[in-house]
Amino acid sequence: DAGITQSPRYKITETGRQVTLMCHQTWSHSYMFWYRQDLGHGLRLIYYSAAADITDKGEVPDGYVVSRSKTENFPLTLESATRSQTSVYFCASKEGAKGGTEAFFGQGTRLTVV
């Protein structure tokens, strides 16, 4: 099925563990983004990517690592999880064209760090 999928949907991990959140899109969109959303707040940009092997830091990149070896995948890794990283994480993709193209979102991953 076409679309953007995130996995897992829910994850509980312990402080200090490494955890990777997966994001896969089938449209071959150039741009991909990772956001975190905390209760009652908007979306804060963690990392973004314009194409395979091109990534940039967003507003809150500390403690996170990304890679993009293939256009369709954009995994987000928490190298050593902390309680402050408990959040809902959204992956999004959009076409590379300028002029306000729509961003499509995954269902989100709810991560709890205990």
CB 15 within 8 A of CB 82: yes
In the complex with another protein, which residue's Cβ is closer, 42 or 69?
Answer: 42
**Is 87 in a helix, a strand, or coil?**
strand
Site for another protein in 29-58 (CB under 8 A): 31, 33, 35, 40-45, 48, 50, 56, 58
Q: Which of 24, 106, 111, 113 binds another protein (CB under 8 A)?
A: 106
How far is residue 28 from each of residues 36, 88, 95, 114, measured CA to CA in Å? 23, 24, 8, 36
What character string, x for contact with another protein (CB under 8 A) and - otherwise, covers 53-92?
Answer: ---x-xx------------------------------x-x
Per 3-state DSSP, what percentage of the chain is helix, strand, and coil (rounded to 5)?
Answer: 5, 50, 45
**Using CB under 8 A, which of 22, 60, 65, 103 touches another protein?**
103
Least distance in angstroms from the C-beta of 65 to another protein: 18
- Peptide bond before residue 75 is cis, with ω within 30 degrees of 0: no
Give the interface with another protein as residue ranges (CB under 8 A): 31, 33, 35, 40-45, 48, 50, 56, 58-59, 90, 92, 94, 96, 98-108
